[in-house]
Amino acid sequence: MTNEYIQQVLSDKFGTAVWGFEETFEIFSFNMKPEMNMLVLNFLYAEEGLAFQFMTDLTATHYPDRKDEELNIVYHLHNLVANKRIRVRASVPVAQPDIATATTLFSAANWMERETYDFYGVNFTGHPNLVRILNVDEMNYFPMRKEYPMEDPTRTDKDDEMFGRG
């Protein structure tokens, strides 16, 4: 299975709903429209020549300078038979961070989506239990977003000398 084959099959099936095909760090990657995520993921899973049936990771990144595409949801999928890994990305606006849950296809997505919600605020619509998993329930912000200033580097209470490292 080659990157060219994957790109051709996806382009034939979804046209302009998938784009940005590239290989970085030996992983073939592409973007998809967020409203198409379950159609694309189902196709990657079920298509005989693709069979990406194992989700290794699901996370997000925050790009505050990308208007209406601030949150980038990233799926890492693996075809175990061909030993081929791919990265699939979809971007949503921070004002309405909705994307369909992948739990109906990958049971592993359950806790990964909860973690992504907990840290980035991505709303996985249709998720069976989308609640915080690592942070306290009372937290009213999403700590991995780049909306907050970096910690004050002049603080002395976190100086290495206080921890025996100075």
Evaluated on CA atoms 14, 104, 101, 120, the torsion sign reads: negative
Q: What are the structure tokens assigned to 72, written together? A: 């980038």
Which residues on neighbouring strands pair with residue 117, listed in sequence order? none
Q: What average pLDDT does this structure show over 141-151?
A: 79
Each residue's pLDDT tens digit, 17-75: 999 999 998 899 999 999 999 999 999 999 988 999 999 999 999 999 999 999 999 99
pLDDT in tens, 74-88: 999 999 999 999 999
Confidence of residue 164 (pLDDT cuts 50, 70, 90): low
Q: Which residue's entry shows tokens 């081929």? A: 84
- Render pLDDT for 7-19 as a digit per residue (tens, 0 to 9): 999 999 999 999 9
Domain count across the chain: 1
Domain assignment of residue 33, given as a range = 3-163
pLDDT digit string, tens, across residues 102-133: 999 999 999 999 999 999 999 999 999 999 88
pLDDT classification of 135: cutoffs 50, 70, 90: confident
Dihedral pair phi/psi, residue 162, rounded to 5°: -75, -15
Nearest CA to 113 out of 55, 50, 63 is that of 55
Q: Which helix (H) or strand (E) holds 36?
A: none
Residue 42: the pLDDT is 96
Q: Which residue has the higher pLDDT, 164 or 26?
A: 26
What is the spatial distance between Cα 26 and Cα 39, in angstroms, rounded to a whole number?
Answer: 25
Angle between helical axes of 3-14 and 37-46 (0-180°, round to 10)? 130
- The domain that contains 22 carries what CATH number? 3.30.460.80
Does the pLDDT value for residue 163 go beyond 70? no
